[in-house]
C-alpha cells in the first residue's frame, strides 16, 4: 500500500464491467475515425494537393488531444479522500461524516456507489469514461467533451466533402478493404459523427452552464443549490478553480498536472 502511494504514476481504475463496455465503445469510435478517415479522405487528397498539410496536422492534433483527454480523465484520481485527512481548524464546521464509508469529508463531496468511495466536489459518475468526475479530473472531462466535438465536426466536414465535393480518386489498391467498402465506411463515420457531436454539444452546454453557476450536476438535481449558489463569482474565477490555473491557454492542454488554485480572493466552498 505504502509503495503504491509513493509511486509517481498512479492510475485510478474502476472495476465496473458496464463502464468497461462504455469506455471501449468511445475508444472504438475514436480509433475508427483516426484510422479510416485519414486512409479514405485525408491522406489521398493531401497527396493530390486538394487538402493543405496544415489540415492533416490539425486533424491528427485534434485526434491526439481527444485520446489524451480520454485516457487521463478515465485514469485520473477524481478526488478521493485520504483515510485520515488533515482538517484545518478554520474548516472544522465545513466537514461532515460520510455514513457509507465512515470517513470525514469536506462539504460538496459525495459518495459514489459505483466507485465505492467519497469524491471531493463530485460532479457525476460517468460510465463513458468509467470514472467519477470530481474536483481533480473535472477539467480533463471538459477537455474531452470539447475535443470530441472538434474531432467529430472535423470528421463530419471531411465525410461531407468526400460525398459531395471531392472528385473520386483512382485508388492504388482497388481490391483493398477500404477501397471496396468506402461508401459503407463513410456512412458509419457520418452516423457516429452526428451521434457524438449531438450528444457532446448537449453535455458540454450543460457542463459550461453548471460551471458558470458554480454548481455540480449532483447539486443541480438536489436541494443543496440554494445554500451554495452565492455569492456569484466571475466566470474567469469559476473556470480557473476548475482548471487549477488562471492561464487560459492551459485550460486547453491535457498534458499537465492540475494544482488547486491558491490565493484567490473568493474562498472556495471546500
Name the residues annotated as catalytic: 126
The window from 47-55, 124-132, 167-175, 261-269 that contacts Zn ion (CB under 5 A) reads 124-132
The span from the CA of 27 to the CA of 73, in Å, is 13
Q: Which is nearer to Zn ion, 14 or 65 (CB)?
A: 14
Instruction: Choose which of 37, 70, 76, 118 interacts with Zn ion (CB under 5 A).
Output: 118
| Interaction of residue 132 with Zn ion, rule CB under 5 A | yes
**Closest approach of Cβ 43 to Zn ion, in Å?**
40
Task: Write out the binding residues for Zn ion, residues 57-116 only, by CB under 5 A.
Answer: 98, 100-101, 111-112, 114-115
Per CB under 5 A, 129 contacts Zn ion? no
Min dist CB 133 to Zn ion, Å, is 8
CB of 169 to Zn ion, least distance (A): 47
How many residues interact with Zn ion (rule CB under 5 A)?
Answer: 10
From CA 261, how far away is CA 245, in angstroms rounded?
6
- Tell me the β-bridge partners of 111: 118
Task: Kindly tell me which of 45 and 125 has the beta carbon lying closer to Zn ion.
Answer: 125
| 142 part of the interface to Zn ion, by CB under 5 A | no
CA distances from 259 to 22, 40, 144, 177, 267 (A): 29, 42, 19, 47, 16
Of the CA atoms within 13 Å of residue 48, those in its CB half-sphere come to 14
Q: How far is the CB of 218 from Zn ion (least distance, A)?
A: 11
**Beta carbon of residue 130, minimum distance to Zn ion (angstroms, whole number):** 9
Q: Which one of 62-70, 125-133, 144-152, 178-186 is the stretch in contact with Zn ion (CB under 5 A)?
A: 125-133
Please give the Cα distance from 155 to 48 (Å, whole number). Answer: 19
Which residue number, 55 or 98, has a Cβ lying nearer to Zn ion? 98
Q: At what angle do helices 53-75 and 17-37 cross, to 10 degrees?
A: 170
Nearer to Zn ion, 82 or 263 (CB): 82
Sequence-ordered alpha helix ranges (H) in the chain = 2-6, 17-37, 43-47, 53-75, 138-164, 177-180, 182-212, 217-220, 225-228, 235-243
CB 148 within 8 A of CB 6: no
Q: Where are the alpha helices (DSSP H) in 110-176?
A: 138-164
Q: Which is nearer to Zn ion, 131 or 148 (CB)?
A: 131
Interface ranges with Zn ion (CB under 5 A): 98, 100-101, 111-112, 114-115, 118, 125, 132
Amino acid at each position: 500500500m505504502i509503495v503504491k502511494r509513493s509511486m509517481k504514476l498512479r492510475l485510478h481504475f474502476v472495476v465496473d464491467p458496464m463502464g468497461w463496455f462504455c469506455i471501449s465503445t468511445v475508444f472504438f469510435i475514436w480509433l475508427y475515425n483516426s484510422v479510416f478517415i485519414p486512409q479514405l479522405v485525408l491522406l489521398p487528397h493531401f497527396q493530390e494537393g486538394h487538402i493543405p498539410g496544415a489540415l492533416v496536422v490539425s486533424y491528427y492534433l485534434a485526434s491526439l488531444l481527444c485520446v489524451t483527454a480520454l485516457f487521463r480523465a478515465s485514469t485520473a484520481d477524481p478526488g478521493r479522500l485520504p483515510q485520515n485527512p488533515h482538517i484545518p481548524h478554520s474548516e472544522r464546521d465545513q466537514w461532515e461524516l460520510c455514513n457509507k464509508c465512515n470517513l470525514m469529508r469536506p462539504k460538496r463531496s459525495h459518495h459514489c456507489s459505483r466507485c465505492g468511495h467519497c469524491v471531493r466536489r463530485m460532479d457525476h459518475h460517468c460510465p463513458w469514461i468509467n470514472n467519477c468526475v470530481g474536483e481533480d479530473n473535472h477539467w480533463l472531462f471538459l477537455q474531452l467533451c470539447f475535443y470530441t466535438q472538434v474531432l467529430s465536426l472535423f470528421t463530419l466536414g471531411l465525410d461531407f466533402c468526400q460525398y459531395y465535393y471531392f472528385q473520386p480518386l483512382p485508388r492504388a489498391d482497388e481490391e483493398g478493404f477500404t477501397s471496396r467498402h468506402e461508401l459503407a465506411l463513410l456512412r458509419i463515420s457520418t452516423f457516429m459523427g452526428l451521434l457524438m457531436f449531438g450528444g457532446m454539444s448537449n453535455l458540454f452546454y450543460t457542463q459550461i452552464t453548471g460551471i458558470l453557476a458554480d454548481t455540480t450536476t449532483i447539486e443541480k438535481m438536489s436541494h443543496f443549490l440554494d445554500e451554495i449558489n452565492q455569492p456569484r463569482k466571475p466566470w474567469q474565477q469559476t473556470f480557473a478553480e476548475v482548471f487549477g490555473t488562471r492561464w487560459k491557454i492551459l485550460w486547453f492542454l491535457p498534458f499537465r498536472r492540475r494544482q488547486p488554485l491558491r490565493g484567490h480572493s473568493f474562498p472556495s466552498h471546500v
